[in-house]
Amino acid sequence: MTQNAVTEQLAITDWVKDLAAIPERDFTLQNVQDYVIRHAVRPESLDKYLFFSKGNYTRNLIFRNNVFECMTICWDIGQHSRIHNHRGQNCWMSAPIGRLRVQNYRVDQRDAAHGTCKIIPTDTYDLDATHPAYVNPVEPVHEVKNLAEFNQRAVSIHIYSRPFDSCEIYLCERGTYSDVPLHYTSEYGRLNPDEKLL
């Protein structure tokens, strides 16, 4: 769900520091969304967290504690996520660089014993520097796309509360879902040694 932003621009270090200052009891969907709407990240302050790969989008950890994690996700032209959930955690997104399309889905006929379900596309919205968003907890399954027609790289900033290390992915064509582990391409500005950027 997107909202127009009226914002103060901050360097990413100050932006994250202010987020971390929000008491755990107040780290709610609305409070964090209000913060994201009022405070934009200066794109040039993200340089050390920008790693692109032709093979796939990259996940670059900026900050993590027990309450939340914050990362950049770098999208080359035409890249997209798989359809996925967030393990019941809240998620807020902004795109200080470029533009992204978010496609939401409804999950019907879920059969945990067989790992099957029916995925139905619902609403879509675009994410950019002036339109941050949060994932609707009622309909949290979605896909993020940097469409070829946008014709530019994109960088999104994601806040997850609480942090999680795996998610479910959904394969529409097969009508199945399964768990996948998550990993970081880089952590705190350093490329992970096992990563090979194309």
pLDDT tens-digit profile of 64-110?
Answer: 999 999 999 999 999 999 999 999 899 999 999 999 999 999 999 98
pLDDT tens-digit profile of 140-190?
Answer: 999 999 999 999 999 999 999 999 999 999 998 889 999 999 999 999 999
Give 142's strand partners: 84, 104
Question: Which one has a higher pLDDT value, 1 or 142?
Answer: 142
150 neighbors 76 (Cβ within 8 angstroms):
no
Helices marked H in the chain: 12-20, 29-38
pLDDT tens-digit profile of 109-126?
Answer: 989 999 999 999 999 999
The letter for the amino acid at 27 is F
Average pLDDT over residues 39-56: 96
Q: Which domains does the chain have, with CATH numbers?
A: 8-187 (2.60.120.10)
CA distance 100 to 98: 7
Average pLDDT over residues 36-43: 96
- For 66, the token pair is 């027990």
- The per-residue pLDDT for 4 is 63
Name the percent of the chain lying above pLDDT 90.
87
CB count within 10 Å of CB 160 equals 21
Q: Is 64 helix (H, G, I), strand (E, B) or coil?
A: strand
- The per-residue pLDDT for 2 is 57
DSSP-derived secondary structure letter, 193: T
- The per-residue pLDDT for 194 is 87
- For 178, the token pair is 């399964």
- Nearest-Å Rg of the Cα atoms of the chain is 16
Question: Which one has a higher pLDDT value, 13 or 7?
Answer: 13
- The per-residue pLDDT for 196 is 79
